Amino acid sequence: MKPPAISPAFHDVSRQSQAVFRAIMQAMAQPGRTGLLDTGFETPAPLAPGAAAILLTLADFETPLWLDATLSASPATTDYLRFHTGASLVSDPQSAAFALIADAERAPPLTAFSQGTPDYPDRSTTLVFQVGSLDGQDWRLAGPGIKGETVFGVSPLPAGFMQQLQENNACAPLGVDVLFASQTRIAAIPRSTRIMEAR
Amino acid sequence: MRICAQATEAELTQALADFGAIPQVEDVRSPEEGLVMLRGRIGGDGAAFNAGEATVTRAVIRLEDGTLGYSYLLGRSRTKARLAAIIDALGQNEDRRAQLRTCLIEPVTQRRSAETKARNEETAATRVNFFTVVRGED
Amino acid sequence: MYVAVKGGEAAIEAAHKLLAKERRGDASVLELTTDQIREQLSLAVNRVMSEGSLYDPDLAALAIKQARGDLIEAIFLARAYRTTLPRFGYSEPANTSAMAIRRRISATYKDLPGGQVLGPTFDYTHRLLDPSLAGEGNFPAVEKTETGDAEVSPHVAALLNNEGLIEENLPQNPDADVSDLTRGALEFPADRDLRLQALARGDEGFLLALGYSTQLGFGRTHPFAGEIRMGEVEVSFVPEELGFEVPLGEVTLTECEMVTQFAGSADAAPQFTRGYGLVFGHSERKAMAMALVDRSLRTAEFGEDVVAPAQDAEFVLSHADNIQATGFVEHLKLPHYVDFQAELVLLRQLRAEWEAERGKTDGASPKEAAE
């Protein structure tokens, strides 16, 4: 009757999730700037602690969660997320409040996810990319929360991702917001950010 | 799980003290306060509606042998939630369940039935026994 | 218009310290404990739970103490607290026919299966102040009557159903979404589930006045208290990770079903219709008022004309929440210096124009000017 062994997540839920929430908020407020995530816990592979911390903080039973093929093929991961967040796992990316992508190179296009509606642009999907590095210098970012321009880059990512982000920005206020999580760090590119190739 | 919901925190503490040696316990989900939206039915038997929320505290623990114990209880006692989760895990083993019967289930059931009896008797004393007063001729 | 005003921090801090002193009152009098409030002011605790829409007697008692007995302030505290907690989910609908009954009365039938029990009621008291309570209260020994197992007490409305004289509740569709006004904005037309949720957390005084208005002729429904019951009900919940029902514990609920006349229409035969109230704790007046207003708000459903305030869902539901109401009324205390300056400038201009106009017409109509 009981699910198999599930490893513990936050040991002090309210404080730790507040700290992670703060990190997410800072990342969204200052696109392209990286912040630290509280990740003092283990996660079942292929789920990484950084991305897990974000979902443990944001997802709950009212936020349908979409997982990419790599993650959904791991019962340990789906059990872990279902147990700790209470979120229902959905196969239709359009109905997801959050999406978690572990195999970033094979991520579906951003337009596969909910873009929100003109009355409720906040109803779009928030994507979390589990990536290796946040220290690239491929892009220049500009827009709200950025003084002038900032240089930023993520790897790995699918080919042509910058163009996808540009198109996403062009649709604002509709469109998705994208969070990137390495093992322990976070950065974001919300739909309001303009992206250009680095000089 | 029902017996833990009916027991007081003191009764759960006492039960575990009486239980004797308990396997090592690991917190899988530390006791956490939250809300459950309580529902009623329109007219008592119709469609559901949301009547209002209640505070609920939940916990999940794991015993050394890997058994998971769960609890969801009204109120905000983290201690009680954790105790109830331990008892839930212990109760999944046949032998330990027998032990829980004497140190938890019996005392709680006895207290509850004494309370229920007293309350029913007090309530029954306020029962209205109607009688009809005959008026007029015939 | 809202304009930030700075300053006053020291005054605010001093005011809050003074509030704490006033809350404590005369220090030579014993301090009230929250246990005492929970046990001895239990109906105030119940009101805070029902309108705070948060079942937790200890929290409600604390809120009452902190609010110095101002129940709307206490309700505000309960509402604020709930926003800090995560929601685990929705309970299974409480089964009120399985209630451990402590009070049950009907004004429509005297002989009911399960009987009528008065329970702890103010009804039939003489409303004479009892000086003995001003001292150390001695309460009389409680009477007891031997009784077997609790009798089954079916809902009274079911008794009328045999003859088909009362409307039936719609069969429940387990897949149907249940509206939740804590998750989405109140939109009109509002379905009955949403209306009942809003009424359950609505202000007792407001609903009482509206219910009263229907009795006095503003949207008459000629109600009878079909049944009022109060007692404990077990509530349970299905956690996502377990997939089976877990009992959470017992809550005290008050339920009221009003039975009201309906003359019938071209499509529907004359019958009795129903209004429903369900409230946390022992909150009888609120449950009755809720049932009256629930029935009034069903006016359109029965093809009746909306002619009275209690029948206007938008009016009732938009104004029933005392926290929204007190927020908007009390915000008038906050600095509106800039708004007021703007009005002042406008008024001076209007006055100047008016006086200039009057100067022109003075000669023509001296009488008007004198007024």
Percent of chain B as helix, strand, coil, to the nearest 5: 45, 30, 25
Cα dihedral C147→C149→C150→C152 (10° resolution): -130
Rounded average pLDDT over A76-80 = 93
Q: Give the 3-state DSSP-derived string for C253-316, with helices as H, strands as E and coil as C.
A: EEEEEEEEEECCCCCCCCEEEEEEEEEECCCHHHHHHHHHHHHHCCCHHHCCCCCCHHHCHHHH
Count how many pairs of residues, chain A against chain C, have C-beta atoms within 8 Å: 19
Whether C74 is in a domain gets the answer yes
Rounded average pLDDT over A31-47 = 91
C86, B32: Cβ pair inside 8 Å? Answer: yes
User: Is the per-residue pLDDT at C362 higher than 50?
Assistant: yes
pTM above 0.90, yes or no: no
User: Is the per-residue pLDDT at A133 higher than 60?
Assistant: yes
Residues A13-197, CATH architecture: 3-Layer(aba) Sandwich (3.40)
User: Is the per-residue pLDDT at C364 higher than 70?
Assistant: no
Of C90, C54, C105, C72, whose CA–CA distance to C251 is shortest? C54
User: Is the per-residue pLDDT at C363 higher than 80?
Assistant: no
Rounded average pLDDT over A4-23 = 85
Which of chain C's residues have a Cβ under 8 Å away from the Cβ of B115?
A: none
C94, B72: Cβ pair inside 8 Å? Answer: no
B-contacting chains (≥3 CB pairs under 8 Å): A, C
Amino acid at C234: E
Same domain, C193 and C274: yes
Sign of CA pseudo-dihedral B106, B112, B116, B119: positive
Whether B137 is in a domain gets the answer no
State the residue range of the domain holding B61. Answer: 2-110
Whether B131 is in a domain gets the answer no
DSSP element (H, E) containing A53: helix A49-58
B121, C88: Cβ pair inside 8 Å? Answer: no
CA C163 to chain centre: 34
Min CA distance, A10 vs chain B (Å)? 8
Q: What is the pLDDT of residue B37?
A: 97
C183, A62: Cβ pair inside 8 Å? Answer: yes
A3, C87: Cβ pair inside 8 Å? Answer: no
* Regions of chain B with pLDDT less than 70: 136-138
Contact with chain B for residue C321, Cβ under 8 A: no
Same domain, C31 and C113: no
Q: What is the pLDDT confidence band of residue C172, given thresholds at 50, 70 and 90?
A: low
CA C229 to chain centre: 17
Whether B61 is in a domain gets the answer yes
Which of chain A's residues have a Cβ under 8 Å away from the Cβ of C85?
A: none
**Radius of gyration, CA atoms only, chain A:** 16
Count how many pairs of residues, chain A against chain B, have C-beta atoms within 8 Å: 26
User: Is the per-residue pLDDT at A2 higher than 80?
Assistant: no
Same domain, C154 and C268: yes
Domain residue extents for chain A: 13-197
**C310 vs C209: CA distance, rounded Å:** 9
User: Is the per-residue pLDDT at C142 higher than 90?
Assistant: no
Which of chain B's residues have a Cβ under 8 Å away from the Cβ of C116?
A: 127-128
B36, C93: Cβ pair inside 8 Å? Answer: no
Q: Tens digits of per-residue pLDDT, C272-312?
A: 899 999 999 999 999 999 999 999 999 888 888 899 999 99
Min CA distance, B134 vs chain C (Å)? 16
C240, A3: Cβ pair inside 8 Å? Answer: no
Q: What is the pLDDT confidence band of residue C2, given thresholds at 50, 70 and 90?
A: low
Instruction: Search chain C and give the residue with CA nearest B131.
Output: C110
**B15 vs B1: CA distance, rounded Å:** 14
Min CA distance, A61 vs chain C (Å)? 7
- Contacts with B, C 46-65, CB within 8 Å: 49-50, 53-56, 58-59
User: Is the per-residue pLDDT at A177 higher than 50?
Assistant: yes
Instruction: Search chain A and give the residue with CA nearest C86.
Output: A60
Residue at token pair 């305030």: C309
Min CA distance, A144 vs chain C (Å)? 23
- The overall average pLDDT reported for chain C is 90
Rounded average pLDDT over A24-35 = 96
Q: What is the pLDDT confidence band of residue A3, given thresholds at 50, 70 and 90?
A: very low
Same domain, C38 and C72: yes
More confident residue, A149 or A38: A149
Helix (H, G, I), strand (E, B) or coil at B26: strand
**B51 vs C197: CA distance, rounded Å:** 5
**Radius of gyration, CA atoms only, chain C:** 26
Q: What is the pLDDT of residue A61?
A: 87
C241, A62: Cβ pair inside 8 Å? Answer: no
Rounded average pLDDT over C116-139 = 87
Q: Name all contacts of A92-97 with Cβ < 8 Å and 24+ positions apart.
A: A92/A66, A93/A66, A93/A125, A94/A125, A95/A64, A95/A66, A96/A64, A96/A65, A96/A66, A96/A125, A97/A59, A97/A62, A97/A63, A97/A64, A97/A65, A97/A125, A97/A126
- Contacts with A, B 35-64, CB within 8 Å: 60, 62
DSSP element (H, E) containing A116: none
Which of chain C's residues have a Cβ under 8 Å away from the Cβ of A1?
A: 244
CA C99 to chain centre: 22
Question: What is the CB neighbour count within 10 angstroms for residue C359?
Answer: 10
Q: Tens digits of per-residue pLDDT, C72-97?
A: 999 999 999 999 998 999 999 999 99
Whether C144 is in a domain gets the answer no
Which residues, 6+ apart, have CB-to-CB distance to C156 below 8 Å? C106, C108, C109, C112, C226, C227, C257
A2, B92: Cβ pair inside 8 Å? Answer: yes
State the residue range of the domain holding C24. Answer: 9-82
Percent of chain C with pLDDT over 90: 66
Q: Tens digits of per-residue pLDDT, C188-202?
A: 889 999 999 999 999
Question: What is the CB neighbour count within 10 angstroms for residue C27?
Answer: 8
Whether C132 is in a domain gets the answer no
**Radius of gyration, CA atoms only, chain B:** 21
What is the number of domains present in chain B? 1
Instruction: Search chain B and give the residue with CA nearest A3.
Output: B68
Q: What is the pLDDT of residue C370?
A: 45
Q: What is the pLDDT confidence band of residue C170, given thresholds at 50, 70 and 90?
A: confident
What is the number of domains present in chain C? 2
Q: What is the pLDDT of residue C5?
A: 63
**A92 vs B47: CA distance, rounded Å:** 29
Q: What is the pLDDT confidence band of residue C138, given thresholds at 50, 70 and 90?
A: confident
Q: State the complex-level ipTM.
A: 0.93
Which of chain C's residues have a Cβ under 8 Å away from the Cβ of A83?
A: 241
Whether B58 is in a domain gets the answer yes
Same domain, C191 and C310: yes
**B10 vs C43: CA distance, rounded Å:** 26
Please state whether beta strands C223-237 and C246-262 pair in parallel, antiparallel, or not at all (unpaired): antiparallel
Which of chain B's residues have a Cβ under 8 Å away from the Cβ of C59?
A: 55, 76
Rounded average pLDDT over A31-36 = 94
A6, B30: Cβ pair inside 8 Å? Answer: no
Considering only CB atoms, B49 lies closest to which of C196, C239, C253, namely C196
User: Is the per-residue pLDDT at C365 higher than 70?
Assistant: no
**C256 vs C230: CA distance, rounded Å:** 9
Same domain, C74 and C154: no
C89, A86: Cβ pair inside 8 Å? Answer: yes
Of C289, C268, C99, whose CA–CA distance to C199 is shortest? C289
Whether B127 is in a domain gets the answer no
Same domain, C15 and C55: yes
Of C259, C321, A110, C239, whose CA–CA distance to B32 is shortest? C239
A13, B30: Cβ pair inside 8 Å? Answer: yes
**C78 vs C64: CA distance, rounded Å:** 10
Q: What one-character DSSP code corresponds to residue C142? A: P
Of A72, A135, A62, whose CA–CA distance to A100 is shortest? A72
A11, B26: Cβ pair inside 8 Å? Answer: no
Peptide bond into A156 cis (omega under 30): yes
Q: What is the pLDDT confidence band of residue C4, given thresholds at 50, 70 and 90?
A: low
Whether B125 is in a domain gets the answer no
Q: What is the pLDDT of residue B104?
A: 93
Which residues, 6+ apart, have CB-to-CB distance to A2 below 8 Å? B67, B68, B92
Of A99, A106, A100, whose CA–CA distance to A125 is shortest? A99
CA distances from C95 to B41, C198, C287 (A): 8, 20, 17
Whether B129 is in a domain gets the answer no
**Token couple for A41:** 């816990």
Amino acid at A58: L
Whether B82 is in a domain gets the answer yes
Same domain, C70 and C157: no
**Token couple for C63:** 């809120």
Min CA distance, C242 vs chain A (Å)? 7
CA distances from A74 to A69, A96, A184, C242, C281 (A): 9, 19, 21, 19, 46
